[in-house]
Amino acid sequence: MTDTLTIRCFGQLTDILGSARLEVPITNDSEELMHLLLKEYPLLKTTRFIVSVDRKVIREKTVLTPGSEIALLPPFSGG
């Protein structure tokens, strides 16, 4: 069992954070995770993004496990 969560970042977030992956200690749910991320990476407050867990956008508090695939997604700009 790993005790960290790996979070993938995309688009302009890779410029803002200087990395496509963040590692943070595991949290119980997505609300705790956001609280931790905004504290550890205050630059995240400067841009808009949504969160996905296991490749689905989440809108509500979601339980996380060590295997959860978490990503921070800035506004999409395909096409």
Partner 1 sequence: MILQGEQLFHQGAIPAGKLADYIQQWGGDHSTGAFASFLGQVRADLVNNEPVTAIEYTAYETMAEEKMQEIATGVQQQYGLNALQVKHSLGLVRSGEICLMVITASAHRKAAIEGCNELVERVKKELPIWGKEITGSANHQWKINQ
Residue 77 binds partner 1 (CB under 8 A)? yes
Number of amino acids touching partner 1 (CB under 8 A)? 15
Q: Which of 6, 10, 17, 36 binds partner 1 (CB under 8 A)?
A: 10
Q: Is 42 in the site for partner 1 (CB under 8 A)?
A: no
Cα–Cα distance measured from residue 41 to residue 48, given in angstroms and rounded to the nearest whole number: 14
62 binds partner 1 (CB under 8 A): no
Cα–Cα distances in angstroms (integers) from residue 25 to residues 18, 37, 50, 79, in the given order: 20, 10, 20, 36
**Least distance in Å: CB of 36 to partner 1?**
22
- Residue span binding partner 1 (CB under 8 A) among the ranges 26-34, 35-43, 58-66, 67-75: 67-75
CB atoms within 10 A of CB 35: 11
Record the tokens describing residue 55, joined without a space: 């490749």
> For the CA atoms of 66, 73, 46, 24, what is the dihedral angle to 10 degrees?
10
Q: Which residues bind partner 1 (CB under 8 A)?
A: 8, 10-12, 15, 52, 55, 71, 73-79
